[in-house]
Amino acid sequence: MPHSSSPNNVARRLRRKVQRISAIGAWRDYASNQRSLGHTVGLVPTMGALHAGHLSLFREAKSRGDIVLATIFVNPRQFNDVKDLTAYPRTPELDHTSAEAHGVDCLVEPTLEEMWPAYPNPTATTVSVRGVSDTLEGAGRPGHFDGVASVVAKLFAVTGSCRAYFGEKDFQQIAVIRQMVRDLALDVEVVSCPIVRDEDGLALSSRNVLLSLDARKKAVALSRSLLAARAESAPASELRARMREVLEGSGVEVAYADVVDPVTLVPVGDDETGERRALIAGLVDGVRLIDNAPVIVEARRG
């Protein structure tokens, strides 16, 4: 059972210096020891460049009384573009300060050699989740979700029984991970947390720091396109058209703008009704951004 999360306990843990680990063996032992003490481990996987969205995951884990174990690892296996991997922001010192200030109990920063000893050669074992990983980001970034599923499976294997916290901005990623957990009967509770947005509506992302001032203004079109789709219920094809109109009108290069079933991610037809999920992705001056929101679909009349 989770340890008590009374204000006094939380305050004591907030004052505790974060423990930093890089070796897989020490990481496994830390999580096992915490469970032996009756604590529930809350795993927050990240690739660093921590922002308010990540901090909200730490807070959610803390509020449930978990020992918060955060990982920072920029996983090369989920990048299908070397330039994208090279450009991915890295802010280690700021990450350490943020983690300690926001109640992380243990910060795990495994080396590339620890995680993928054979890299850059292919790893013999790959976890592939078919169906939910084939469309949207999966179609535009071949191999991306194999890399995601493989690294998350390894995080789960090393950590052991835990709650794992993910932000809903990466909605398809959560669907892939949930499917993997179900299929492999992993002892992990996947907790999805709401998207954290800037004041102008842009979903927080580590990639946002790569945007120029002009691109940053243009990027707000992603959240505006979702607001347009949510303005009133309509057939799925009309919602898709609304989103594309806003994105293209703002100069965003659209990768996709779709309305799908929130579990299977199968595109919704115009004869379907009810709450579904709108997912979008676009290039803003070369920076790929994603966003999503629930929408209400109604069948086409006549």
| pLDDT at position 17 | 85
Q: Tell me the average pLDDT across 44-50.
A: 98
Domain total in the chain: 2
Told to judge if 102 belongs to the known catalytic residues of this protein, a careful annotator would answer no
pLDDT band for 10, please (50, 70, 90 cuts): very low
**Do 96 and 107 contact (CB within 8 A), yes or no?**
yes
- Predicted pLDDT of residue 293: 98
pLDDT exceeds cutoff 70 at 1 = no
Task: List the domain range (segments joined by +) for residue 249.
Answer: 206-297
Residues 63 and 178 in one domain: yes
Query: What's the Cα-to-Cα distance from 16 to each of 50, 67, 102, rounded to whole Å?
Result: 20, 12, 11
pLDDT confidence band for 28 (50 / 70 / 90): very high
pLDDT confidence of 300, banded at 50, 70, 90?
Answer: confident
In sequence order, what are the beta bridge partners of 192? 166
Asked whether residue 198 is domain-assigned, the answer is: no
Question: Averaged over 135-141, what is the pLDDT?
Answer: 96
| Domain endpoint, select from 138, 165, 193 | 193
- Of 3, 39, 51, 54, which is the active-site residue? 54
Phi, psi of 276 (to 5 degrees): -130, -170
- The pLDDT of residue 301 is 76
Among 171, 193, 215, residue at a domain's last position: 193
Residues 118 and 221 in one domain: no
> 34 with 177, same domain?
yes
Q: In this predicted model, what pLDDT tens digit does every residue of 231-257 receive, in sequence order?
A: 999 999 999 999 999 999 999 999 999
- CB atoms closer than 10 angstroms to residue 29: 12
70: left (phi over 0), alpha (psi -120 to 50) or beta: beta
3-class state of residue 253 by DSSP: strand
Alpha helix stretches (DSSP H) within 74-170: 82-87, 92-101, 112-115, 137-140, 144-159
Residue 210 and residue 189 share a domain: no
Confidence of residue 107 (pLDDT cuts 50, 70, 90): very high
What pLDDT score was predicted for residue 302? Answer: 61
Residue 155 shares a structural domain with residue 213: no
pTM here? Answer: 0.92
Average pLDDT in the chain = 94
Residue 44, judged by CB atoms within 10 A of its CB (0-12, 13-18, 19+), counts as buried
Among 136, 167, 193, give the residue marking a domain's end.
Answer: 193
**Model confidence over 214-233: pLDDT tens digits?**
999 999 999 999 999 999 99
- Residue 5's pLDDT band (cuts 50, 70, 90): very low
Q: Among residues 244, 218, 216, which one has the least CA distance to residue 229?
A: 244
